[in-house]
A and B are shown apart, each in its own frame.
Chain A
Amino acid sequence: QSALTQPRSVSGSPGQSATISCAGTNSDVGAYNYVSWYQQHPGKAPKLMIYDVNKRPSGVPDRFSGSKSGNTASLTISGLQAEDEADYYCCSYAGSYTYAVFGGGTKLTVL
């Protein structure tokens, strides 16, 4: 069982928006503004899409955005494209002892 809870699957049609949630606790997501989101295509290494809750690395389209409310972080993908179909993982800082915890991953299907 993963430390952070994500829905197993989310779907959307091309051009629509999809939101993936990441539920944690007041010891991880709720305590720090250090949440990252990773995209992983089959057989590939994960790719950083969002860090520090809502910052986008260079090269990541602005269709990807992140937010946080209380103990839950969210990744929103607007204007869905076929290439967005992938697994998405959230990751949160959890203090100096545990350091980092991942969500179980969400499979995004673009219908």
Chain B
Amino acid sequence: QVQLQESGPGLVRPSETLSLTCAVSGASISSYYWIWIRQPPGKGLEWIGYIYYSGSTNYNPSLKSRVTISLDTSKNQLSLKLTSVTAADTAVYYCARLMTTVATDYWGQGTLATVSS
């Protein structure tokens, strides 16, 4: 059974960098595409970007200048870094496995990241 588990600091100061990890079990990250999606409290879903095991990435143009997604194959996990955060970046962040083009089959439970001083 494939399982994903996000983790990271629940509170981040404005202008600092949000760093999250997603530990994957039951599947090798050296296959498939892996993605990050976020959801501000009470709002809809927003695509952040994907990474392929080859290192190929694609980011939401609105976040591209601030976001980096990477893989750590030794730990079988992926990471998300979002720089210069503001209150607008407060959201539940999900990692997921991409099954086909825009279809995900496995999700983490999500982790809330709050940007506040």
CB distance from A46 to the nearest CB of B (A): 7
Which of A47, A57, A98, A102 is the one whose CB lies under 8 Å from B44? Answer: A102
A93 to B50 alpha-carbon distance, docked (Å) = 13
Considering only CB atoms, which chain B residue lies closest to A106 in the complex?
A: B44
Is the beta-carbon distance between B94 and A51 smaller than 8 angstroms? no
**Any chain B CB within 8 A of the CB of A104?**
yes
- Chain B: interface residue count, which band? 20 to 34
- A103 / chain B contacts, CB cutoff of 8 Å: 44
The segment from A9-17, A18-26, A33-41, A74-82 found at the interface with B is A33-41
The segment from B19-27, B82-90, B105-113 found at the interface with A is B105-113
Tell me how many residues of A have a C-beta within 8 Å of chain B: 27
Is the beta-carbon distance between B103 and A52 smaller than 8 angstroms? yes
CB distance from B113 to the nearest CB of A (A): 15
A2 to B62 alpha-carbon distance, docked (Å) = 12
Is the beta-carbon distance between B99 and A102 smaller than 8 angstroms? no
Which of A2, A34, A48, A93 is the one whose CB lies under 8 Å from B104? Answer: A48
Is the beta-carbon distance between A102 and B46 smaller than 8 angstroms? yes
Residues of A within 8 A of B (CB): 2, 32, 34-36, 38, 45-48, 51-52, 57, 89, 91-93, 96-105
Residues of B within 8 A of A (CB): 37, 44-47, 49-50, 58, 60-61, 94, 96, 99-105, 107-110
11 CB contacts below 8 A, A to B, read: A35-B102, A36-B103, A46-B37, A46-B104, A48-B104, A52-B101, A89-B45, A92-B102, A96-B58, A99-B47, A105-B44
